[in-house]
Chains A and B, each alone.
Chain A
Amino acid sequence: MKAPLKRSNAPIFWALFGAGGMLSALFGPMLVFITGLALPLGLLLPADTMSYPKMLAFAQNIIGKGFIFAIIALFLWHAAHRIFHSLHDIGIHAGTGAKLLCYGSAMLGTLIAAYALLAIGF
């Protein structure tokens, strides 16, 4: 009897790549502008937009929690997948070690984000 075909795990990583790519394509530029440029430089938005009480309330809200988690985790999985598949193009053999390093970093970041969001509480 033939052994059943081994199911590939590629669709899972591809789906995470696609979801992160779509999310970063839709919101990425504005997120970078808001958190990295507008607020540190005091442009456009009220200075206390990311003050501790406001961010804490946002991170304690269930929708806010979901948004923060989706952004960080999916951005990481998107980047990990794309970097992993570009390794061959820059002459690095993309073996099991590289795969573990790329997806492992994304997994670690996801777990840290989940831990921090739980620690912040509801």
Chain B
Amino acid sequence: MSKRRPYVRSMDGWWRKNPFFVEYMIHEGTALFVAAYAGVLLTGLYRLSQGEAAWNAWLAALKNPWYIAFHLAALAALTYHSYTWFKIMPRTMPPVVVGGERLPGWVITAGGLAAAAASCLGLLALVWGMAR
């Protein structure tokens, strides 16, 4: 085995030194909440398949303050995910050319955010209509 111990610069906390990368880590970190929320829904779906008692126990568990706190954090994380998803979209999608001019980034972002707002309100209206 080699006796050499070359100096390797530590990369610990590299992203904390630059606000651009702090933002990057936060928006990548929203994936943890997306995964956890999908886990909550998956648990609910599984409980639903087990019958009424299991489903009602899951519904009651959601009232636990820890679950409420988690969902508050998840709401913030998913809203931020939504915002960054459309903020980056001008760079993640192929250029859109309208009338020979490239569509400016802010139009794509604004369009995406408007679509998200419409989808959320539409979903709420749909659930409200179905529940009545």
- Point out residues on A near B: beta carbons under 8 Å: 20-22, 24-37, 39-41, 44-46, 48-50, 52, 54-56, 58-59, 68, 71-72, 75-76, 78-80, 82-83, 86, 89, 91, 109, 112-113, 115-117, 119-120
Contacts and interface: CB of A to CB of B under 8 A. Distances in A.
Contacts, number: 159
Contacts of B70: 36
B96 interface: no
A91 B11 contact: yes
19 contacts: A24-B78, A24-B82, A25-B112, A27-B123, A28-B37, A28-B79, A30-B121, A36-B40, A37-B72, A39-B62, A40-B67, A45-B131, A48-B131, A52-B55, A75-B41, A76-B35, A112-B42, A116-B45, A120-B49
Contacts of A49: 127, 131
B78 A29 contact: yes
Interface residues of B, number: 53
A28 B83 CA distance: 11
The 7 A-B pairs of least Cβ separation, nearest first, read: A36-B71, A79-B35, A82-B31, A30-B120, A75-B38, A28-B78, A49-B131
A115 to B, nearest CB: 8
Contact of B71 (A37, A86, A109, A120): A37
A51 to B, nearest CB: 8
B68 interface: yes
Given A30-B121, A36-B75, 6 more contacts: A24-B82, A25-B86, A28-B79, A35-B71, A55-B55, A115-B49
B64 to A, nearest CB: 8
Contacts of A26: 82, 115-116, 119-120
Contact of A78 (B31, B63, B74, B127): B31
